[in-house]
Amino acid sequence: MPKIKNIFFANTAETFASLLESETSDKNAQQERIRYENDLSQRAQFWGEDSKVIVTPEPIPTALLENNSRRLGYKNVINLWPKESKLRLCVAIANDTVLKDKIVETIRANPNIRISSYAATEEYVDLIKMLQKEGTDFEVINLPHIVNPIHLVQKIGSKNGIREIIRGLFPREGIRLPDGYICKDKDEILKAIPEFLNTNRGFVVKIHNGESGWGVKIMNKETAQSLNKIFLTTWLNDLFQSDHIWKSAPYIVEEFILADMTMAGGFPSGEGYADDKGFTFSYSCGQEVTPQGEFGGITIGKSFMSHFFNESIETALNLVGNKLHNIGYRGIFDIDFVAGVDGNLYILECNARMTGGTHVQGIISHLKINTEQGPYIFSNDSYRYGEKVQPPEKVLHSFSNLLYPIHGEERGIIISFISSSRPVIGIIVIGNDSNDTRSLTEQVKSSLGGH
């Protein structure tokens, strides 16, 4: 059996379990969100290098995994999954004796194998401890080197916690944190908002642990200034009643930064990782973000951002990365920014986990694509192709003339996941330049009539 170098636990939904399990009157929306997070776990196909085991909550469609392995040149990708799918993947693994034994067998057959996950969670720590008790020899590459690793992960990933950690590093060289306040309840939010209204500015209200725009309310300058201050309490009560996620205190209220949409869509991001040797910067990308603040996908390419902003992103990542490494953090993390029209780069949040760009960078690295020489890449994790779910084989056939590599060239479509419960797929579009990528994306839309 070929050597296995890595085991990846795709615990995407588990990472947000506390939010996904919150009480809500809209059970359909809750189940839709859980299905979405579980679908995203299929992106683990592209994490890290070849020769890996990926453990997902549900099986990756065989047709998709075989197609991607053949077209992208993966030789040894093994997909395992628990007998019973659960929101918390690591719990499901621990409760599945057959699966657990397979994992232990794989570790014993591959000394010094590396283990990682989408994110470090309490359930993941428990699973690691259980595997260690089996007398196995492996390296965990994404757990902080401190007594309580999850506390640090949660602090870095919370919008209030990261402010506390890095506030002494900025402002610096055109990199700033938006003016803002950490609020423990609605009363403190009501005190913070007038600070922006009275200075003719917009504001943003966020929960401390939201994800992909969930738990964010954006009020630009015009919308904010139209608020009737007398009825501000009513407005906030309506917001809190609109979604159960607003029960997740504490909160951040910060100034609205007008984005320069010509710079990486206005919302660039950077990713890197910390290991025992130090911090390493990986890549920067643009983000597609809706006016409501929801994440739509990423863009990577030579022309998506100015040299100044590219350098500023790397500077910020190095400063924060070295700080996080010094306090014990280990693993991947990213920083999301807004490129202000005033020429400054503003830090919005930090994610102490893999992100919506990790799998894209994994493909770039595996295929040895040089993004400095022209290729332009777009990724979308919520492409709805119709009203009814189609079998994976039909989805792949519909895109057969667009699948990477088209005519052996470094361009085409890569399908990152195919949902079994929703008419939704993930797509990665690789073009020669931004125009070619847009053209391919339009062809995708016409193939199945999606949007």
Indicate whether 221 and 368 sit together in one domain: no
Per the structure, the count of domains in the chain is: 3
Check which CATH number belongs to the domain holding 245 and give it.
3.30.1490.20
What is the four-CA torsion angle of 149, 154, 155, 157, rounded to 10 degrees? 130
Indicate whether 102 and 130 sit together in one domain: yes
pLDDT, position 144: 93
* Rounded Cα–Cα distance for residues 144 and 164 (Å): 18
The encoded tokens of residue 125 equal 């720590």
In Å, what is the CA distance from 81 to each residue of 9, 61, 97, 131?
Answer: 10, 12, 12, 17
3-class SS at 54?
strand
Last residue in a domain, options 212, 227, 255? 255
The encoded tokens of residue 136 equal 């196995």
* Rounded Cα–Cα distance for residues 80 and 199 (Å): 55
Indicate whether 115 and 46 sit together in one domain: yes
Look up the pTM and report it.
0.92
- Which residues, 6+ apart, have CB-to-CB distance to 141 below 8 Å? 114, 115, 116, 275, 330, 331
The encoded tokens of residue 414 equal 């890569």
8 Å CB contact between 412 and 402: yes
pLDDT, position 292: 67
In Å, what is the CA distance from 214 to each residue of 16, 240, 386, 394?
Answer: 11, 13, 24, 32
- Is residue 108 situated within a structural domain? yes
Q: Which residues of the chain have pLDDT under 50?
A: none
- Is residue 427 situated within a structural domain? yes
pLDDT, position 186: 95
pLDDT, position 98: 98
8 Å CB contact between 274 and 330: yes
Check which CATH number belongs to the domain holding 327 and give it.
3.30.470.20
Indicate whether 429 and 292 sit together in one domain: yes
Indicate whether 104 and 240 sit together in one domain: no
Indicate whether 343 and 288 sit together in one domain: yes
8 Å CB contact between 413 and 440: yes
pLDDT, position 448: 67
- Is residue 329 situated within a structural domain? yes
Last residue in a domain, options 235, 255, 275? 255
What is the Cα gyration radius of the chain?
22
Reference 1, options 132, 118, 134, 113; nearest CA is 113
Last residue in a domain, options 206, 221, 255? 255
* Rounded Cα–Cα distance for residues 35 and 32 (Å): 5
Indicate whether 287 and 377 sit together in one domain: yes
- C-beta atoms surrounding 294 within 10 Å: 13
- C-beta atoms surrounding 137 within 10 Å: 11
| Backbone dihedral angles phi then psi of residue 337, each to the nearest 5 degrees | -125, 170
Indicate whether 224 and 363 sit together in one domain: no
pLDDT, position 450: 53
Indicate whether 379 and 397 sit together in one domain: yes
H or E stretch covering 279 = strand 278-289
Identity at 284, one-letter amino acid code = S
pLDDT, position 145: 86
The encoded tokens of residue 225 equal 């200034």
- Is residue 156 situated within a structural domain? no
Vertex 18 angle, CA 256 and 161, to 5°: 45
Indicate whether 372 and 281 sit together in one domain: yes
- Is residue 154 situated within a structural domain? no
- Is residue 149 situated within a structural domain? no
- Is residue 279 situated within a structural domain? yes
Indicate whether 23 and 121 sit together in one domain: yes
Indicate whether 222 and 317 sit together in one domain: no
pLDDT, position 2: 82
- Which residues, 6+ apart, have CB-to-CB distance to 391 below 8 Å? none
- Is residue 163 situated within a structural domain? no
pLDDT, position 303: 66
Domain ranges, residue 224: 179-255
In Å, what is the CA distance from 73 to each residue of 46, 76, 113, 192, 437?
Answer: 11, 9, 22, 54, 22
